[in-house]
Amino acid sequence: KEGRKKERKKERKKRGRKEGIEEGGNAEKEKRKVVTENERQKERKKERKKERKGETEKTGRKEGRKQERNTEKKERKKGRKKGRKKEERKKEERKKER
């Protein structure tokens, strides 16, 4: 929970920097740069995309590896299926020959 809290704080700071906000009471309001809603949406979209890909700060590598393993599993499964189908065809051919 505390880690998440710190992350949010960092994100807020980052967002502030992007919008040209400097820390400190009134200085924040005076130096705020106008950021259109459209730009904010684009940023959010990029962040979501990164999260989906698993490029989050801590777990990026792990999630990427997990995805690779899953694709490997799927490929192996496909290979097995193809192997079974070949075996079935051979059995059928043998039966026809008899």
Task: With cut-offs at 50, 70 and 90, classify the pLDDT of residue 76.
Answer: confident
Mean pLDDT calculated for residue range 67-83: 82
78 part of a folded domain: no
Could you tell me the pLDDT band of residue 3, with boundaries at 50, 70 and 90? confident
Owning domain of residue 57: 1-73
Distances (CA, A) of 11 to 17, 59, 95: 10, 17, 68
CB 21 within 8 A of CB 34: no
Residue 45: inside a domain, yes or no? yes
Domain membership of residue 35 (yes or no) is: yes
Is residue 54 in a domain?
yes
Distance, in Å, from the CA atom of 25 to the CA atom of 18, rounded to the nearest integer, reads: 18
pLDDT digits (tens, 9 = 90+) for 27-74: 555 555 666 778 888 889 988 888 777 655 555 556 667 778 888 888
Residue 81 inside a domain? The answer is: no
**Residue 67 carries which DSSP code?**
H
Helix (H), strand (E) at residue 90 = helix 60-97
Residue 31 lies in a domain: yes
Q: Which residues contact 60 (CB under 8 A, 6 or more apart)?
A: 54
Q: pLDDT over 70 for what percent of the chain?
A: 67
Q: What is the distance between the alpha carbons of residues 44 and 37, in angstroms, rounded to a whole number?
A: 11
Structural domain contains residue 86: no
Q: How many structural domains comprise the chain? A: 1
Q: Is residue 94 part of a domain?
A: no
